[in-house]
Amino acid sequence: MFGLLALLVQAQSSAARSARYNNGEAAHHDPTRIRMNANAATDPSTPATAQLPLSDAVQEALAIVKCGAEELLIESEFAQKLAHSEKTGKPLRIKLGLDPTAPDLHLGHTVVLNKMRQLQDLGHTVIFLIGDFTSMIGDPSGRNVTRPPLTREQIEENAKTYFSQASLVLDPAKTEIRYNSEWCDPLGARGMIQLSARYTVARILEREDFTKRLKAGTPISVHELLYPLMQGYDSVALQSDLELGGTDQKFNLLVGRELQKDYGQTPQCILTMPLLEGLDGVEKMSKSKNNYIGITEPANTMFAKVMSISDVAMWRWYDLLSFRSLPEIAQFKKDVEGGRNPREIKVLLGQEIVARFHSRSAAESALADFDNRARGGIPDDIPELTLTGAPLGIGQLLKLAQLCPSSSEALRMVEQGGVRLDGETISDKGLKVNSGSFVLQVGKRKFARITLS
């Protein structure tokens, strides 16, 4: 593997070339030559350029950008970018890249989307980049094993809903949507070698996850080493002023900054956002860990899931998801310390989130539905099923009703007292259910109205 990498690193780079983008439109892209944009802005942070004074508006914008963020690199540079933007009237280009590795976005994704919306409201150009090319490589960030590359068909299917879902947070009329296959596909083998020549193996292996895998003797595929380069090249192609990402993306974002310098561009600044813990309050929110809230989930489900998080995790969610002001959140904490029931504060959070992705009326209905369930009531909007084969064992019935994934899991839920038939808790694992109509409930949120014959 490293013999091949050495050949890549030793490859001689030919004349530099860069795609030009004016108002978000790609210029002619010739993968054999990189041409720098003659109109590229001068880096306001270099010693040769006089430092611009920071107006009150710039300082306020800087405070908004930093609020809730993990790290801003380099803060002094970004302050100058804001000042330069204010002076020239030219908005900054703000980039966020997401690989469509799953068809749906969840609340964890919205942490960085919320920050993008704030930057959008400050008047800057937001670029929502769908990594349809990089998805075929697979981001190795935080992985201790090679991520299987997705097929083009899988990527296209997942990408269909990404922007429509992101538009629930971003203003679609002010958002530039791009796909990195626009400039990555034309590179070809020659362009890939030339790009690889701009970065060393030693620097790539500085990544903590690569280092750990190397020391542990865990395989690292060559295509994984290309991922940070390709993500970094996105910043070159888009002439990004600021790139956002989770804390696990810091290395990749820094590669983009260094590549921009190598291509003669003003280097982007980097804003990392914290990773949101999921419903368990421990692991980061992830569909694979089933601790997530999808932003297109039904309002009642979304609200109930928010109410399931711990009182401690609630404050973390307020910091990363709520649009309430910092003084408001601080007052909530003070109220709870003074004896106010934290459930009341959690209800406000749940309603805010549901209203954002559905409507205020949906949020009110979700609260009423949740209270009804808490009192042992049955929701109105539950699935209705018609089944045959009476009498059916309770385990088989729960499986057929899709309330449990298997009969054994169903019996385990009965044993734990988590199954109700028409509101009555079932304790007999050998119960045979006769024909008729009834409501089955598993746990607090799974219901089905069944007609059995």
The C-alpha torsion from 277 through 278 and 280 to 283, rounded to 10°, is -50
Contact 17, 33 (CB under 8 A): yes
Q: Write the DSSP assignment of 142-189 as a string of letters.
A: T-SSPPPPPPHHHHHHHHTTHHHHHTTTS-GGGEEEEETHHHHGGGHH
- Domain membership flag for residue 178: yes
Last residue of a domain, one of 310, 345, 374: 374
Predicted local distance difference test score (pLDDT) of residue 220? 78
Residue 379 DSSP class: -
Predicted local distance difference test score (pLDDT) of residue 207? 72
- Domain membership flag for residue 106: yes
Amino acid at 312: V
- Domain membership flag for residue 292: no
What CATH number did the domain enclosing 145 receive? 3.40.50.620
Compute the distance between CA of residue 299 and CA of residue 233 in angstroms, rounded to an integer: 39
Predicted local distance difference test score (pLDDT) of residue 92? 96
Predicted local distance difference test score (pLDDT) of residue 38? 31
Last residue of a domain, one of 206, 238, 273: 273
- Domain membership flag for residue 288: no
Would the pLDDT of 24 be above 70?
A: no
Residue 441 falls in which region: left (phi positive, over 0), alpha (psi -120 to 50) or beta: beta
What CATH number did the domain enclosing 339 receive? 1.10.240
Q: State whether 89 and 181 are in the same domain.
A: yes
* Residue of 199, 210, 195, 208 whose CA lies nearest to 250: 208
What CATH number did the domain enclosing 395 receive? 3.10.290.10
3-state secondary structure of 377: coil
Question: Once rounded to an integer, what is the mean pLDDT over residues 117-140?
Answer: 84
CA–CA–CA angle 127, 132, 135 (5° rounding):
115
Instruction: Give yes or no for a cis peptide into 391 (omega within 30° of 0).
Output: yes
Q: State whether 123 and 6 are in the same domain.
A: yes
- By percentage, how much of the chain surpasses pLDDT 90? 34
Compute the distance between CA of residue 174 and CA of residue 180 in angstroms, rounded to an integer: 19
Q: State whether 362 and 232 are in the same domain.
A: no
pLDDT digits (tens, 9 = 90+) for 320-348: 899 888 889 999 999 999 999 999 999 99
Residue 138 pLDDT class (50, 70, 90 cuts): low
Predicted local distance difference test score (pLDDT) of residue 376? 67
Compute the distance between CA of residue 422 and CA of residue 309 in angstroms, rounded to an integer: 27
**Tokens found for residue 113:** 């989307």
- Domain membership flag for residue 96: yes
- Domain membership flag for residue 126: yes
**Tokens found for residue 118:** 């704030």
- Domain membership flag for residue 67: yes
Q: State whether 367 and 403 are in the same domain.
A: no
Contact 268, 92 (CB under 8 A): no
By the 10 Å C-beta count (0-12 exposed, 13-18 middle, 19+ buried), 107 is classed as buried
Residues 6+ apart with CB under 8 A from 280: 289, 291
Amino acid at 108: G
Q: State whether 244 and 312 are in the same domain.
A: no
Neighbouring-strand partners of residue 192: none
- Domain membership flag for residue 285: no
* Residue of 165, 164, 174, 68 whose CA lies nearest to 121: 174
* Residue of 150, 159, 139 whose CA lies nearest to 252: 139
Contact 240, 127 (CB under 8 A): yes
Amino acid at 403: L
Q: Write the DSSP assignment of 380-411 as a string of letters.
A: SS--EEEE-SSSEEHHHHHHHTTSSSSHHHHH
Last residue of a domain, one of 273, 291, 314: 273
Q: State whether 170 and 37 are in the same domain.
A: yes
Strands 424-425, 384-387: pairing is unpaired
Residue 277 DSSP class: B
Compute the distance between CA of residue 115 and CA of residue 1 in angstroms, rounded to an integer: 40
pLDDT digits (tens, 9 = 90+) for 26-85: 333 443 333 333 333 334 444 445 799 999 999 999 998 998 899 999 999 999 999 999
97-111, 344-358, 401-415 — most confident range: 344-358
Residue 139 pLDDT class (50, 70, 90 cuts): low
Spell out a b/e string for 204-232, using b for 16 or more CB atoms within 10 Å of the CB, else e.
beebebbeebeeeeeebeeebbbbbbbbb
Q: State whether 160 and 263 are in the same domain.
A: yes
Contact 144, 353 (CB under 8 A): no
- Residue 398: count other Cβ atoms within 10 Å of its Cβ: 27
The backbone torsions φ and ψ at residue 141, rounded to the nearest 5 degrees and listed phi first, read -55, 125
3-state secondary structure of 212: helix
DSSP H or E segment with residue 11: none
Q: Which domain holds residue 170?
A: 2-273
3-state secondary structure of 452: strand
pTM of the full structure: 0.67
For the chain, the domain total comes to 3
Torsion sign across C-alpha atoms 179, 185, 186, 192 = positive
Torsion sign across C-alpha atoms 42, 45, 50, 52 = positive
Question: Once rounded to an integer, what is the mean pLDDT over residues 109-118?
Answer: 90
Question: Once rounded to an integer, what is the mean pLDDT over residues 229-256?
Answer: 90
Q: State whether 406 and 348 are in the same domain.
A: no
